[in-house]
Amino acid sequence: MARVNLDGNPIPTMAICMIGGGGFIGSHICEMLMAETVHKAIVVDVSSDKINHLLDKSLPWSHRIEYHQMNIKNDSRLETLIKASDLTINLAAICTPADYNTRPLDTIYINFIDAIPVIKFCTENNKRLIHFSTCEVYGKTIGSFLPQEYRKDPEYYILKEDVSPCIFGPVDKQRWSYACAKQMTDRLIYAEHAENGLKFTIVRPFNWIGPRMDFIPGVDGPSDGVPRVLACFSNNLLRGEPLKLVDGGQSQRTFLYIKDAIEAVSLMIDNPERANGQIFNVGNPDNEVSVKELAEHMIRAYAKVSDVPTSSLQTQNVSSEDFYGKGYDDSDRRIPDMTNITKQLGWKPTTPLDKLLDVTLQYQHQTYSRAINKELSKPSN
């Protein structure tokens, strides 16, 4: 039976060019497209490691997915692939805070400069664009600058697409180069829409987490690499090391399960009339914890899936300068206002934090514990 959209209209089959589609979020979108739709995925990325399980020629959808190994910085095939598609989804980014200080040029280029041709090709060829921005564009909350008693007022910390200001730290705090680059891209897309009629949707993910996020240092990524917090804490747990709380782990985040998030992306793909011209926060305001509390939840979840008792898993405070180097700064709090996405697409997240951590740590343990135990049992020189 033909699939229908939220307005009851049949969904036309689309070819979707997914730039950066071989990453964490892209791999989950690809899985959803193959399992639940008849759309075609044209995946562009420098690596296919996270989608190789979908590329096997014997799979029933093999005629609906193709992978192009490509660096979008300098490859003339990009325009041809965008032209051949009905929709482009741009996910290509450097989005790991440890890189914002150590690779600031790459961060600015991929998140802004290299996105310019993507936007231009979409406008010129009259193609729809779903662009992945970030909750980081809001920067710090107004509340973080106010005395404690004012911080309780949601007006000073809830982040709303068409109301909240974007508050960044100074230039030498290079964390904000990512936020600035992403914000310029949002503004360029908006300007292309205003002047040239680009059909766009901007997605602002609020800490989507789940299986296949980032890498475990020394197993499927560099041993001195620093991934995002889920993979950092998973790595600590797998190795029996203390979980490192940067500046005491006081910053707060809301975490959204990747499977919930993909439902939102799917609605955007299939409902252009409701999604075009919109900026959507996509997060789970009910899953707010401090980073310290996240560590405690992860310790409990990991103890359930491994033989390791919670009493042997600890946390340890570290300074941000020791952990990330000079120039680090942080977002204090990120709670998404969900009015727009609920109104336009009727989407609401459903998975509570403990459930999503149980599933994710089960995956981390199954995927990595053997490799780590092998590494740890090697005699040290």
Q: Report if residue 357 touches ligand NAD, rule: CB under 6 A.
A: no
71 binding partner (options ligand NAD, ligand UDP, none; Cβ < 5 to 8 Å by kind): ligand NAD
186 binding partner (options ligand NAD, ligand UDP, none; Cβ < 5 to 8 Å by kind): none
Q: Using the minimum distance from each CB to ligand UDP, give the nearer residue, 18 or 93.
A: 93
Catalytic residue among 138, 178, 257, 324: 178
Q: What is d(CA 285, CA 336) in angstroms, rounded to the nearest whole number?
A: 6
Least distance to ligand UDP, CB of residue 32, Å: 23
* Pattern 99-118, ligand NAD, x by CB under 6 A: -----------x---x----
| Piece of the chain touching ligand UDP by CB under 6 A; list 11-19, 102-110, 241-249, 369-377 | 241-249
**Residue whose structure tokens are 């996020």:** 213
Least distance to ligand UDP, CB of residue 228, Å: 3
Q: Report if residue 208 touches ligand NAD, rule: CB under 6 A.
A: yes
363 classed as catalytic: no
Q: Using the minimum distance from each CB to ligand NAD, give the nearer residue, 114 or 161.
A: 114
Among 83, 160, 228, 239, binds ligand UDP (CB under 6 A): 228
Q: How many residues bind ligand NAD (CB under 6 A)?
A: 26
Among 207, 234, 271, 287, binds ligand UDP (CB under 6 A): 207
Least distance to ligand UDP, CB of residue 351, Å: 18
Q: Report if residue 244 touches ligand UDP, rule: CB under 6 A.
A: yes
Among 14, 22, 108, 253, binds ligand NAD (CB under 6 A): 22
Q: What residues are labeled active site?
A: 178
Which spans of this chain sit near ligand UDP (rule: CB under 6 A)?
A: 97, 136, 207, 228-229, 232, 244-246, 249, 251, 253, 291, 330-331
